[in-house]
């Protein structure tokens, strides 16, 4: 079973312990709702705790494998693209998870892309609220 298969199974079963075994310590997570990546396994696992609660009817509907350049260092790495569908904040979401693997087969970089823009906005609000509730980011300043 590939790392992508194991990742997909862990998400399907909402198994955070299994996810913990799949990420490098310095994993980077590029989100559609934040310009800078989330960095490090503790932050990324905390983000997954929030995401697994935020998405409704999350399901993977396809996959592709190959190689692609990473965002962090531009190195071509083995990669997998997992296509998904979900609902968040009452909005239908179509998206992809792009996983880049290190030499040991662990996920070193993770990029999420979703559409449409209205879903990105709804997802961003829900994820921010979850991250604040988890204590992973400070609450935004009130005007």
DSSP string, the chain: --HHHHHHHHHHTT-HHHHHTTEEEEEEEE-TT-SSPEESHHHHHHHHHHHHHH-EEEEEEEEEEEEEE-TTT--EEEEEEEEEEEEETTEEEEEEEEEEE-TTS-EEEEEEEEE-HHHHHHHHHHHHHHHHHHTSSPPPPP-
Alpha-carbon 140 to chain mean position: 22
Give dist(CA 119, CA 76) in Å, integer. Answer: 30
Give dist(CA 115, CA 14) in Å, integer. Answer: 23
Q: CA torsion 53→96→29→87, rounded to 10°?
A: -20
pLDDT by residue, tens only, the chain of 143 residues: 899 999 999 999 999 999 999 999 999 999 887 788 999 999 999 999 988 888 888 999 999 999 999 988 889 999 999 999 998 777 788 999 999 999 999 999 999 999 888 877 777 777 777 777 877 777 777 66
Q: pLDDT at position 67, please?
A: 94
Model's pTM, two decimal places? 0.87
| Phi and psi at residue 117, to the nearest 5° | -60, -35
Mean pLDDT estimate for the chain: 89
Q: pLDDT at position 122, please?
A: 76
């Amino acid at each position: 079973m590939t790392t992508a298969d194991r990742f997909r199974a862990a998400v399907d079963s909402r198994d955070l312990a299994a996810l913990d075994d799949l990420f490098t310590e310095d994993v980077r997570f590029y989100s559609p709702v934040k310009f800078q990546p989330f960095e490090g396994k503790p932050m990324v696992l905390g983000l997954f705790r929030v995401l697994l609660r935020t998405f409704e009817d999350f399901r993977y509907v396809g996959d592709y494998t190959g190689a692609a350049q990473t965002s962090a260092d531009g190195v071509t790495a083995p990669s997998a693209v997992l296509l998904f569908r979900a609902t968040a904040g009452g909005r239908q979401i179509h998206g992809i998870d792009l996983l880049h693997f290190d030499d040991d087969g662990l996920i070193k970089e993770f990029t999420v892309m979703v559409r449409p823009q209205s879903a990105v906005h709804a997802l961003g609000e829900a994820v921010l609220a979850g991250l604040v509730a988890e204590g992973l980011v400070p609450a935004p300043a009130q005007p």
